[in-house]
Amino acid sequence: MSNLLGEPWRPKAKPGREIEAVVFDAYGTLLDVHSAVMRHAGRLGAVAADFSAEWRAKQLEYSWVRSLTGPTKHRDFWICTVDALRFVCERYGVGDEALVSDLLDAYRFLDAFPEVPAMLRALRARDVPAAVLSNGASMMLADAFGHAGIATLLDALLSVEAVGVFKPDRRVYALAEQRLGLPASKMMFVSANAWDSQAAHAAGFRCIRVNRNNAPDEYGLKDTGVPSLTDLSSLPGLLA
C-alpha cells in the first residue's frame, strides 16, 4: 500500500493474462457523488435531488473550462467542488453556512456504492491489481476511500494533479500508463461517465461503462464494443 497516493508502482505481470490491471474512475463509479446531499436532504427539502444533480454538473463544467482555458487557470478538484456548491446554493437561495459546511464535509467522505467492497475483494482474490484514476485531489481521494473502508483494496490512487489538467485530456490517461508501467491495451478502464469512457477508449484502454440509470448510449460506445453494466457486481467474472 506504499503506492496508494500515486507514487510509481509496477504490478507484477501475469503471463497469458489479457488484462493485467483494472483502472477505475472514482466519482460516480466507485463513490456515490449524490450521497453527500442525501445525508442532508431533509434540510434542503424537495429540491435535494435537483440540487445534487446541478452541483455535480457545475463541478464538472468548472473542471472542463479550467482545462480548456490553460494551465494558469487550473485549480484542483476540491476548489471546483467548493465553487460549484457556492453557485448552486446561490441559485437555490441556500444561505445557511452551517449547511454549506456540512455538505462539503459530506463530499469529502462520500459513500461507496453498495457492491463496490465485495467487487474489489473479488478482484483481490483473483490477484488482479486495482487502481483509481481520478480528477480528485489526493486529499479528497484519501479521505473518501478511507471513509468508505476500501482503501486497502486498492493498489494505487492516481490524481490528475500529477499532470495539472482534468479528464478527458489525453495526458490524464497517459498518467495511468506511466505510473502503472503497463500499456493501455493491457488495462481495463471502468467508468460511469460516458465521456470518460469515450476518452479512455480513444487512449487505447479496454473499457467498461457502468450505466446505473439506464441512460442512452453516448459517443457510439456500444457500437465500438464497450460493454455496459448496471452495477459493478459482475465485473470480476467478466475479467475471468
Residues acting as catalytic residues: 25
Q: How many Å separate Cα 56 from the centre of its chain?
A: 12
At a CB cut-off of 8 Å and minimum separation 6, what does 236 contact?
119, 122, 123, 126, 128
Q: Which has the closest alpha carbon to 191: 160, 235, 147?
A: 235
Q: What is the DSSP letter of 30?
A: T
Alpha-carbon span 185 to 26, nearest angstrom: 20
C-beta separation of 67 from 171 below 8 A: no
Q: Which has the closest alpha carbon to 99: 174, 44, 171, 177?
A: 44
